[in-house]
Amino acid sequence: MILKKLLYKTFYRNFQQFALNEKTSIQNGIFYDNRKLGERKVINSVWIPKNGKAWNPKSGKGFLRIERIDEKDFELIGNFYNYQFVQSGNIWKAINAKYEDTKELIFDAIKIPMQQPLSYAAFDKNQLVGIHLNRLHIKSQFSELFEGKLYYKNAKLYIKEDYAEDIANGPYNNQNANRISVLLNECLKQTGKFLPEDIKNLGYMKVTVIDPKYMGNGLFQYFFTESFKTFKEKDCNYFIAFCLANASAKMCEKMGMWSAFCFQYSEFKENGIPVFQNLCDGAIGVHLMMGKTDVAIKILEEIEKK
């Protein structure tokens, strides 16, 4: 287990080469982009909020720029993701997780999305205000990813009586990081049992993170729309997302997704005690949300017509 932890740390250090020594500029919780305009592929240079509200209260007008992120954004994206989840993530707040507790965990979590050109970021001029990270897995990868457990007819979620040993032997030298890691890995590795047999490739919406000041204006939906287009191009007829919060699960339901299972927080125990209690949003567990790409695209097309 010591060797396993050393390997994780070595990988973490080596993977940071993608940052290319570009330091993230942070001032009072605002993340500034140090890259020049034009270095990334611009998806939408003047994305306007659906309700017409401006982003800049001083000028009374404004718009966002949507770009496709790449490996050079590794440090910027990882720090933004971790910062926002420490501030408002429900399971982070439930265990009082600090920024340094989960920094390594988050950087590990983004390593696959950052290597695949499938993810997006929203900028207000040079300020990062939102990210949406995607992964894609071709069918030949499923067996390894899901430990060979695929396409069960009557799939059920297996939950251990206690996860104290798993947490103690987790990949990080931090209890809170291991708590979150073990829970999410338990969900991921059992996902294959719930996949339909007619699946081709799998789209995986890893996470959406939006600065609270920029929520409620259609950005979440826009990220989804761009993702579904990409999934369709890559022959992903199904896609998944793990929803930790009530709000994200409800948003997924609006896209025609369904809950394949829910790992209830009350059942994730450490030494007999539920790890995540009294969540700030009242969420009851991690939902594996699953959807059909074509169905989601049709739903969004109808929404956009209104």
Measuring CA to CA, which residue among 145, 247, 230, 227 is closest to residue 192? 145
Contact of 167 with 179, CB cutoff 8 Å: yes
- For 247-303, the pLDDT digits (tens) are 899 999 999 999 999 999 999 999 999 999 999 999 999 999 999 999 999 999 998
List, in sequence order, every beta strand (DSSP E) within the chain.
25-27, 30-32, 41-47, 64-68, 120-124, 127-137, 201-210, 236-243, 258-264, 269-270, 273-274, 285-292
Kindly give, in sequence order, each residue whose CB lies less than 8 Å from that of residue 4, ignoring residues fewer than 6 positions away.
171
Span 164-176, average pLDDT: 99
The mean of the pLDDT values for the chain is: 90
Partnered with residue 132 across adjacent β-strands are 120, 208
How far, in Å, are 73, 104, 133, 225, 247 from residue 111 at the CA level?
11, 11, 10, 23, 26
Judge whether residue 105 has pLDDT over 70.
yes
Q: Is 29 helix (H, G, I), strand (E, B) or coil?
A: coil
Q: How many domains does the chain have?
A: 1
**186 vs 193: CA distance, rounded Å:** 12
Task: Encode pLDDT of 132-148 as tens digits.
Answer: 999 999 999 999 999 99
How much is the pLDDT for 297?
Answer: 97
107-120: pLDDT as tens digits: 999 999 999 999 99
pTM for the predicted model, two decimal places: 0.89
Q: What is the SS3 assignment for 1? A: coil
Domain that holds residue 191: 2-305
The model's pLDDT over 64-78, given as tens digits with 9 standing for 90+, comes to 999 999 999 999 999
Is there a contact between 131 and 78 (Cβ–Cβ < 8 Å)?
no
Q: What is the CATH number of the domain that holds 190?
A: 3.40.630.30
The tens digit of pLDDT for each residue in 172-212 reads 999 999 999 999 999 999 999 999 999 999 999 999 999 99
